[in-house]
Amino acid sequence: MEVLPPDVSSDAVVLDVVVPAFNEAERLPATLLLLRAALANLGVPCRVTVVDNASTDGTAEVVSTVLPGTVPVRLLWCGERGKGFAVRIGVLASDARYVGFCDADLATAPDNLGQVLSLLVEGADAVVGSRAHPESVVEERHSLLRRWGAVAFRSAVRQVVRGVGETQCGFKFFRNDVARRAFAPLRCGGFAFDVEVLGRVERAGARLVEIPVNWVDVPGSRFSPVRHGWQSFVDVAKIRWRLRRTDAAILPVPVVAIPVAPDVTSGAATVGLRP
């Protein structure tokens, strides 16, 4: 599939960060504060899009009472439960040049958003945060069961996604058209949705860059190794089956991108956005 360059004619927002939220009223205020501060530092127009996934704890009220600021926050609604479906709603509703997502607990520190933006501006089609990157700093407190499960899961995923060492870190960013093509046909709404998205991105021949992350295991995870673990394996098998016809089209293109430090003082034009 041909991947087109971005349409820059109506670029109001450069980077849109989607935050899927299922009952996140408690964690969201601190997250929005940190995320907006990190985005404001980039010096280009950014936005946070929270997608409330049928929460019952006042998540929507928390979001609608945030104060106006340099980085606007918008609220969308997703009635169908599942992180993948919520992220899909946010991505498909985005008019930003680049769009991605992070978790409401900000387990991945937003301090490398500058690197993300630089890589996208330099021509990467997708930038994927990965705990498997040798330079990642990972503070893990997961149970032994979940860690073993993660090892088995990664080996199952290798049948579908070959270009990155880890698919499950909630920190991924794309050029808008690349994201749109991967998310529009998304069928998996559960925790394995990243596998389907990256599988589609790879099969489109997109340039994918894996970056290191600072990742902390924040307590309060909704992922249950017993309840969601087996379901994730089933989902990967289904994704593999779904994408089988496009397997021959996998074209992982290694990218050597030189990060450019965005000039935070002088706005969008100075980061060298591609015309």
Ligand X SMILES: Nc1nc2c(ncn2[C@@H]2O[C@H](COP(=O)(O)OP(=O)(O)O)[C@@H](O)[C@H]2O)c(=O)[nH]1
For position 107 contacting ligand X by CB under 6 A, the verdict is yes
- Tell me the one-letter amino acid at 113: L
Q: Please select the residue that binds ligand X; options are 17, 20, 166, 182, rule is CB under 6 A.
A: 20
Q: Please select the residue that binds ligand X; options are 39, 62, 71, 86, rule is CB under 6 A.
A: 86
Size of the site for ligand X (CB under 6 A): 17
Smallest gap, in angstroms, from Cβ of residue 131 to Mg ion?
12
> What phi and psi, each to the nearest 5 degrees, are found at residue 45?
-65, 120
Spell 103-115 as b/e; 16+ CB within 10 A means b. Answer: bbbbbbbbebbbb
Gyration radius of the chain's alpha carbons: 18
What character string, x for contact with ligand X (CB under 6 A) and - otherwise, covers 42-81?
A: -----------x---------------------------x
Q: Does residue 11 contact residue 89 with C-beta atoms inside 8 Å?
A: no
Q: Closest-CB residue for ligand X?
A: 53
Smallest gap, in angstroms, from Cβ of residue 143 to ligand X?
12
Instruction: Specify the residue for token string 């849109």.
Output: 16
Closest by CA to 70, choosing from 27, 35, 118, 111, is: 35
Instruction: Specify the residue for token string 């991967």.
Output: 182
- Tell me the one-letter amino acid at 78: C
Residue 81 near which of Mg ion, ligand X, none (CB within 5-8 Å, type-dependent): ligand X
Report 162-221 residues binding ligand X (CB under 6 A): 170, 221
Report 220-259 residues binding Mg ion (CB under 5 A): 221
Contacts with ligand X by CB under 6 A lie at: 20-22, 24, 53, 81-83, 86, 103-105, 107, 170, 221-223
